[in-house]
Structure 1
Amino acid sequence: MFIWTSGRSSSSYRPDERRNFYQKIKDHDLLDKRKTVTALKAGEDRAILLGLAMMVCSIMMYFLLGITLLRSYMQSVWTEETQCTLMNASITETFNCSFSCGPDCWKISQYPCLQVYVNLNSSGQKVLLYHTEETMKVNSECSYIPRCGKNYEESLSLVSIIMENFRKHQHFPCFYDPEGNQKNVILTKLYSSDVLFHSLFWPTCMMLGGIVIVAMVKLTQYLSLLCERIQRINR
């Protein structure tokens, strides 16, 4: 008959040894719980930092868009769209411009001035058409201003193509000032409502994402504390 003699059953322990044995098991469980709580706390801290970083980035993007895109959009007076009919498109003269040829290096060149006059269908007035709002600020005498470069022939060829496109398409949409402060019209708005919406969409998503992350972490912490209190009461 085989007898196991090397081990000891739990009933063979003395009371103090049995107490120490269960205390070690309890301490081991407490250590595991503390490690788990520490790991969860570190993960929660990282999640909160991520949420706060997303909110800070979205606020900075709102600020940058507010002083650039939104400001230009609000200052634009060409808000109403109508139909324009071409009356005359011609290259009138040339203007001097400067372009960069390297660090601290600038050279003088020229560009042709294209003037496009249209008939505003809403009022019947003959007005000068500008490409965008910025075109009038750069040179109020030209409807389109090409990029300044060292090759004048390339600029002239580009402007000639644009002039011929206007002559082919006699009717096209344009924007005018309904208040009548600006007598001219523009062909394209730099910042339309669609551009404004798409520019503000992603910062808004980032802001909402950061708020959701922080709120979920705080909700998880609150539920954990609530469960712990309930367990203490039940004990």
Structure 2
Amino acid sequence: MLLVARARHPSTSGGGGGERRSIYKKFREVDLLDKKKTVTALKPGEDRAILLGLGMILSSVMMYFVLGITTLRSYADSVWTEEGLCVVLNSTVTADMNCSYNCGSDCWRVSKYPCLQVYVSVNGTGRVGRLSHNEETQDASSDCFYAPRCQKDSAAMHAMIANISERLKVNTRVPCYYEPGERRETVLLTRLYDHAVAFQSLLWPSCVLAGGALIIVMVKLTQYLSRLCEEIGKIKR
């Protein structure tokens, strides 16, 4: 009987060990399956995040290109870079200028506005220049201080120019921008493309570029840390 009992005991012990190994194997398979599901779920999200980052970078490059041929080019080509104080010497209406306005589909009509010429002295140096409102006015009508938006009611445009002339006669000292080389007679009252405009134009594309790069870096860092944790887990096992 004792021999029979001893003979049965090892077989029972071996069966329990096999069951424990089987249970451990099942848990191991479940753990690996969970990890595979997690990796499978994370990979499409990571791919979408990388595509988002690349799209943001591409959009910022396109924005840089558009700004480079518009705002930044106008800012670089502007010669009125020095800021000073101008004293109004003369402000008179010289003649009427023709302009055209849209009256419908393929319809254009002619109207008139007064040409206001303003001469100023720059920084008390004795340099006399013709004052213009901004770069667009200088390009549209180099002889006139301001070119209003053309409209049918010419009386309204005359009243607008008369109001500007009266203000310049009251406020004879105005800030202005002039060319340092004194090659141009024209002086600007305001600049459309100055340092602030250039900075604001570059701010948003720079933020989009930095955001896209940050997304890609964070995804790559997450992937690297995930691989590092997996390798550490393999070493511990």
TM range (shorter): 0.7 to 0.9
Aligned match of 1:78: 80
- Where does 1:166-185 land on structure 2 (aligned, <5 Å)? 166-185=168-187
The secondary structure found in structure 1 opposite 2:32 is helix
1:89–1:117 contact (8 Å) kept in structure 2: yes
Q: Is the 8 A contact 1:82 1:122 kept in 2?
A: no
Residue among 198, 201, 208 paired with 1:199: 201
Give the equivalent residue in structure 2 for 1:114: 116
Match of 2:222 in 1: 220
More helix by share: 2
Structure-2 separation of matches of 1:65 and 1:150:
34
Q: CA deviation at 1:15?
A: 8.1
**How far 1:119 moved relative to its partner?**
1.3
> How far apart, CA to CA, are the structure 1 residues paired with 2:119 and 2:182?
17
How big is the alpha-carbon RMSD for the aligned residues of Structure 1 and Structure 2?
2.1
Deviation string, structure 1 residues 102-153 (Cα, Å, up to 9, x no partner): 3332222222111111112253122210111221211121111111111101
Deviation beyond 3 Å, 4+ runs, structure 1 = 13-29
The AA in structure 2 aligned to 1:139 is S
Report the residue type matching 2:162 in the other structure: S
Q: Which residue of 2 aligns with 1:4?
A: none
Map of 1:132 onto structure 2:
134
- Structure-2 residue corresponding to 1:100: 102
| CA distance in 2 between partners of 1:16 and 1:187 (Å) | 93
Q: CA, structure 1 residues 16+229, in 2 after alignment: closer, same or farther (shift >3 Å)?
A: closer
Match of 2:68 in 1: 66
Gaps of 5+ in 1: 1-10
Q: How many residues align?
A: 224
Tell me the alpha carbon deviations over residues 52-100 of structure 1, each in whole angstroms, 9 at most, x when there is no partner: 1111111111111111111001101111011111111121111111112
TM-score (norm 2): 0.87
CA–CA separation in structure 1 for the residues paired with 2:22 and 2:232: 29
Task: Return the alpha-carbon distance in structure 1 between the equivalents of residues 112 and 29 of structure 2.
Answer: 85
Counterpart residue number, 1:189: 191
* More moved, 29-38 vs 89-98: 29-38
| Residue 151, structure 1, aligned to residue 153, structure 2 | yes
Structure 1 residue 20: deviation in Å?
Answer: 6.2
Larger Rg: 2
How far apart are the structure 1 equivalents of 2:47 and 2:223? 11
Counterpart amino acid of residue 56 in structure 2: M
Q: Secondary structure at the match of 1:31?
A: helix
What amino acid does structure 2 have at the position aligned with 1:113? Answer: C
Q: Where do 1:34-53 residues align within 5 Å?
A: 34-53=36-55
Asked if the contact 1:94/1:111 (under 8 Å) is kept, the reply is yes
Shift of 1:161: 1.0
**Is 2:35 aligned against 1:30?**
no
- Amino acid paired to 2:80: W
Give the Cα–Cα distance (whole angstroms) in 2 for the partners of residues 106 and 179 of structure 1. Answer: 41
